[in-house]
Amino acid sequence: MYPSSEKRFIKINRITIVVLFLVITAGGVVRSTGSGMGCPDWPKCFNQIIPPTDVSQLPEGYEEQYIAGRAAKNQRFANVVDLFGSADMADRIRNDKSILVHEEFNAAKTWTEYINRLVGVVAGFCLLFSALFSATYIKTKPSIFIWSVLNLFAVVLQAWLGSIVVSTNLMPWIITVHMLLALIIVAISIYTFYIATTLRNKTILVNYQYASVKVLAVISIIVTLVQVVYGTEVREVIDHLNDQGVLRSNWIDSIGKSYHIHRILSYVTFAITILFFFLVKNRFSRLSLQSRYAWIVLFLVCLQMLSGLIMAHFDVPAFAQTTHLVIASLFFGAQYYLMLLMTKLKR
């Protein structure tokens, strides 16, 4: 059904999507273990391709060297922020001395962050090959090629943002942008996969226009993205509480408005997902791809609610933080793909 060149693209695209979720998982582990500054420089780690395992292997005078380099990079980044009209934010970056605070060496954190970067490199190569193999669609479906190339630029931007996350010592709003861009990269890969697979196999598309169902799917995705934003804010507050020495048992009660909005949105998402599930279930065969993904989305939202309840009632354990983030990403991906599958078959 598919020419070999198209099969090759679909295969690498599928692998890319899996690897991108692994990157998000690795990033979640880094965040929950506080390993974000395990490597004080970028792209190397302590100016080494293979990072040290003991303090005796650290470069001499590395603290001053990296703090100076970080300060210079932050000045350049502040200039970029200034160009976009955010003068107050640029001044904060220039004058916030806490950004330059040095973190003591910890081998476990260093290697956790290093593995995260290695997975990111693998994802970068996967996206590169996806862009190269998408050239087969230049004549038949140029949008696949265009989006694949744009996604390659997006991952380069993501890598640069990763370096800014390090140089600004995990500045909260940059981490939020970093997370949202990761979801955009995932969405583009899912979209190109969808276009490539439906180009020659249109039987997976619907025969009639279910406008209300697709609108509900779009609303659900928007709510999920807003929930992700508030979720990152909750995580930022938790980091701040942890730095202040607040007891873990008091974290939930100390978060404030962001947590309450995030929790309300979780119930809204759950309700929309239940409604969406029954709409799909009543309109599609249980063997259809739409029906299968409706079950997947329902299963993921239940897991997501469970992980949220575990964090709320068991003092935000680290494993639940990572689980919550990964499931949220998978949930977004499944939601998005299911929305695409609601597209009407064009005859």
Q: Mean of the pLDDT values across residues 187-205?
A: 89
Mean pLDDT of 242-266: 87
**Predicted confidence band at 253 (pLDDT cuts at 50, 70, 90)?**
confident
Q: Distance (Å, rounded) from C-alpha 332 to C-alpha 347? A: 30
90-134: per-residue pLDDT in tens? 677 677 666 666 677 888 888 998 998 899 899 999 999 999 999
pLDDT category of residue 337 using cuts at 50, 70 and 90: very high
- Tell me which H or E stretch contains 192: helix 172-200
pLDDT in tens, 305-317: 999 999 888 888 8
Q: Which residues contact 165 (CB under 8 A, 6 or more apart)?
A: 36, 171, 174, 175, 178
pLDDT the model gives residue 102:
67
> Tell me, what's the pLDDT at 315?
85
Span 19-51, pLDDT tens digits:
999 999 988 888 778 777 778 777 788 888 888
Write down the mean pLDDT value for the chain: 85
**CA–CA dist 87, 80 (Å, integer):** 10
| Position 206 pLDDT exceeds 80 | no
Residue 170 reports pLDDT greater than 70: no
Task: Supply the pLDDT for residue 101.
Answer: 67
- Most confident of the ranges 68-77, 97-106, 283-292, 296-305: 296-305
Residue 44 φ then ψ, to 5°: -75, 175
Could you give the CA distance from residue 209 to residue 212 in angstroms, rounded to a whole number?
9
Distance CA 312, CA 237 (A): 14
Q: What would the two tokens of residue 179 be?
A: 């997370």
Q: In this structure, what token pair is assigned to residue 131?
A: 């862009």
Q: Of the given ranges (104-113, 172-181, 289-298, 301-310), which has the lowest mean pLDDT?
A: 172-181
Residue 344 pLDDT > 60 = yes
pLDDT at residue 146 tops 80? yes
Question: What is the rounded distance in angstroms from the CA atom of residue 19 to the CA atom of residue 127?
Answer: 10
Question: Does residue 191 register a pLDDT over 80?
Answer: yes
Residue 172 confidence class, pLDDT cut points 50, 70, 90? low
Q: What percent of the chain has pLDDT over 70?
A: 89
Residue 331 identity: F
Q: Does residue 239 surpass a pLDDT of 90?
A: no
Q: What backbone phi and psi angles, to 5 degrees, belong to 206? A: -85, 155
Contact (Cβ atoms closer than 8 angstroms) between residue 118 and residue 159: no
Q: 144 or 65, which is more confident? A: 144
* Pick from 37-46, 137-146, 148-157: least confident: 37-46
The mean pLDDT value for 181-194 works out to: 95
pLDDT value, residue 282: 85
Residue 63: the pLDDT is 73
Q: Quote the CA–CA distance of 50 and 320 in Å, as a whole number.
A: 30
Q: What is the pTM of this model?
A: 0.87
